[in-house]
Amino acid sequence: MEVQEANVHVGDGIVVIRRKGSSVPAIANILGSEVTGGSTLLYLDRLIHKHYENELGGYGVSGAISSILVAPGGVVSVQGNA
């Protein structure tokens, strides 16, 4: 597994990921969120990470069909579709 250097921006029902060295951002809608054990899981509508990535910009990332982001250090305010 590899940690990819990236910036993650969580907005109003959307997540934008900008990877270092790439001019094309990955954009996904937030389908829902869940607070579990002091962290927030963000369920996205598409796969925005590569199979070898387990972290993006400080957010944990997993999922085979669509990406699930784990917000670092607690609750993230999510509006819109969540």
DSSP for residue 78: -
pLDDT values of the chain reduced to their tens digit, one per residue, 82 residues: 555 589 999 999 999 999 999 999 999 999 999 988 888 999 999 999 989 999 998 999 999 999 999 997 765 666 554 4
Q: Which domain holds residue 36?
A: 2-71
| Domain assignment of residue 77, yes or no | no
| Domain assignment of residue 81, yes or no | no
* Alpha-carbon distance values, 36 to 17, 39, 67 (Å): 23, 5, 17
Where is 70: in which H helix or E strand?
A: strand 68-71
| Domain assignment of residue 10, yes or no | yes
**Stated pTM of the model:** 0.82
**How many domains in the chain?**
1
| Domain assignment of residue 16, yes or no | yes
Q: Name which of 40, 33, 34, 42 is nearest 69 in CA terms.
A: 42
* Alpha-carbon distance values, 25 to 15, 19, 39, 51 (Å): 10, 7, 25, 17
